[in-house]
Amino acid sequence: MGKPRSLFSPLYGVALGLLATCVWADSRVVRQDFSVASDPGVRLFVREIKTESVGEPVLLLHGARVPGIGSFDLPVANGSLAADLAGLGFDVYLMDVRGYGKSTRPAEMNEPPEKSQPLVRSDEAVRDIGAVVEWIRGRRHGAKVALLGWATGGHWAGYYASLHSEKISALILLNTLYAGSDKHPSFGHGSDLEDPQHAGHFDPKIGGYRFNTESSLFGAWNRSIPVEDKDSWRDPAIAKAYAEAALASDTTSGLRTPPSFRSPNGALEDSFYLAVGRQLWDASLIRVPALIVAGERDFWSRPEDREKLVEHLVHAPKVKAVVIPGATHFVHLDRPQRGREQLLREVKEFLTPTGQAR
């Protein structure tokens, strides 16, 4: 079993200061942090977010750079997808895959990145998800767990579901790649991720992990917002909390100028191969209801990914694909009227008895 930790742990770092000046989305929501064992020597950070009314367990999976708290539980209004889902009656969990946040980092991440190959590939992430799913099921007397994955987290969730459908109740993929095409506008063929000597291969010179500054978090997000005034689309308080939580997720971030947090490059390599059309898992093996959600302005996933997923999910008892008009890759962190409200509604309807086959 996991060991409880205080909410006010070093994980929050500089983001702690926000807690005194903001109101959580729902005062009924309580949080508890745990450390869960995965492979030998690997411990995983897990947070439970719930109210007194504990419903179906839902596990949220972060993407390729920012870990669980920064992605799903910011301490500002409309900044916590986890709290909003808990307020709807779900028993919500988030986790950090190894190499991210407060979970164990590979020893190679303490060496220069050029000394290692891309760290934390999908097979390792899937083992970590499996460890947390088993732990949640132990706490919940064998209950099946719904998975909601954002971007690379959706890829990991789908991969896990293709192997272990018997342990989950539903699958939600938010802005997720799935080898729907061999062309991608940002990071496929012809991008700086491709080996210049071997077309279709990830460039090995990229190394084991990367450093992410605050400014690197907002380039693609800003370009996705189709208005000059970005604050009209994205609350500046959320942008500030997102950057602070991302930097606070790495205890070494303040050792560099400008401050930067580390993230493994295994997710980047896997995403490159998906972007050039390689299929890394098979959706036909999934046997639970599946919801595919994409923002119309998402820069990560493609219409072809959604189409291929729907085509392959032949054994899922229910499949629904939704494109949220005008929404960006960061729809769950944008203002409610910019797609966030619809996302919550779609998830709620899908995971409640009237919206999901059980």
Per-residue pLDDT tens over the stretch 166-220: 999 999 999 999 999 999 999 999 999 999 999 999 998 999 999 999 999 999 9
- Domain, as residue range, for 290: 13-351
Residue 353 confidence (pLDDT) = 65
The answer to whether residue 77 sits within a structural domain is yes
Q: What's the whole-model pTM score?
A: 0.92
Question: How far, in Å, CA of 282 to CA of 255, rounded?
Answer: 42
26 pLDDT band, cuts 50/70/90, is: low
* Both structure tokens of 172: 């939600």
Q: Give the C-alpha distances (Å, rounded to integers) separating 281 from 278, 284, 286.
A: 9, 9, 10
Residue 54 confidence (pLDDT) = 76
Share of the chain above pLDDT 90, in %: 89
Task: State mean pLDDT over 337-356.
Answer: 87
Per-residue pLDDT tens over the stretch 85-94: 999 999 999 9
Number of domains observed in the structure of the chain: 1
Per-residue pLDDT tens over the stretch 139-173: 999 999 999 999 999 999 999 999 999 999 999 99
Per-residue pLDDT tens over the stretch 302-332: 999 999 999 999 999 999 999 999 999 999 9
Residue with token string 């200061």: 17
Task: State mean pLDDT over 342-355.
Answer: 87
**Quick check: helix, strand or coil at residue 181?**
coil
The answer to whether residue 358 sits within a structural domain is no
Q: Is 90 exceeded by the pLDDT of residue 349?
A: yes
- Cα angle 298, 300, 305 (rounded to 5 degrees) comes to 95
CATH of the domain at 178: 3.40.50.1820
Q: What is the DSSP letter of 238?
A: H
The answer to whether residue 267 sits within a structural domain is yes
List alpha helices for the chain, DSSP H: 16-19, 68-72, 81-87, 122-139, 152-163, 219-224, 236-248, 266-275, 303-312, 340-351
Beta carbons of 184 and 275 less than 8 angstroms apart? yes
Task: State mean pLDDT over 287-314.
Answer: 98
Share of the chain above pLDDT 70, in %: 91
CA dihedral 151, 157, 158, 159 (to 10 degrees): 110
Q: Is 50 exceeded by the pLDDT of residue 355?
A: no
11 pLDDT band, cuts 50/70/90, is: very low
Q: Is 80 exceeded by the pLDDT of residue 1?
A: no
Task: State mean pLDDT over 100-118.
Answer: 98
The answer to whether residue 32 sits within a structural domain is yes
Alpha carbons within 13 angstroms on the beta-carbon side of residue 186 total 13
Average pLDDT value over all residues in the chain: 92
Q: Is 60 exceeded by the pLDDT of residue 293?
A: yes
The answer to whether residue 7 sits within a structural domain is no
The answer to whether residue 168 sits within a structural domain is yes
Question: How far, in Å, CA of 358 to CA of 353, rounded?
Answer: 7
Q: Is 50 exceeded by the pLDDT of residue 25?
A: no
Question: How far, in Å, CA of 193 to CA of 204, rounded?
Answer: 9
Q: Are strands 145-150 and 57-61 parallel, antiparallel or unpaired?
A: parallel
Residue 197 CB contacts under 8 Å (≥ 6 apart), including other chains: none
Burial 26-61 (b: 16+ CB within 10 A, else e): eeebebebbebbbeeebbbbbbbbbbeeebbbbbbb
Q: Is 60 exceeded by the pLDDT of residue 277?
A: yes
Q: Is 50 exceeded by the pLDDT of residue 32?
A: yes
Residue 17 confidence (pLDDT) = 30
Q: Is 60 exceeded by the pLDDT of residue 354?
A: no
The answer to whether residue 242 sits within a structural domain is yes
**Helix 122-139 × helix 152-163 angle, to 10°:** 70
Question: How far, in Å, CA of 72 to CA of 85, rounded?
Answer: 10
Residues in the chain: 358
Residue 52 confidence (pLDDT) = 84
The answer to whether residue 6 sits within a structural domain is no
28 pLDDT band, cuts 50/70/90, is: confident
* Both structure tokens of 300: 């990560």
Q: Is 60 exceeded by the pLDDT of residue 16?
A: no
Q: Give the C-alpha distances (Å, rounded to integers) separating 7 from 13, 47, 74, 268, 358.
A: 12, 9, 13, 31, 34
Residue with token string 């991969």: 159
Backbone angles phi, psi at 40, to 5 degrees: -50, 125
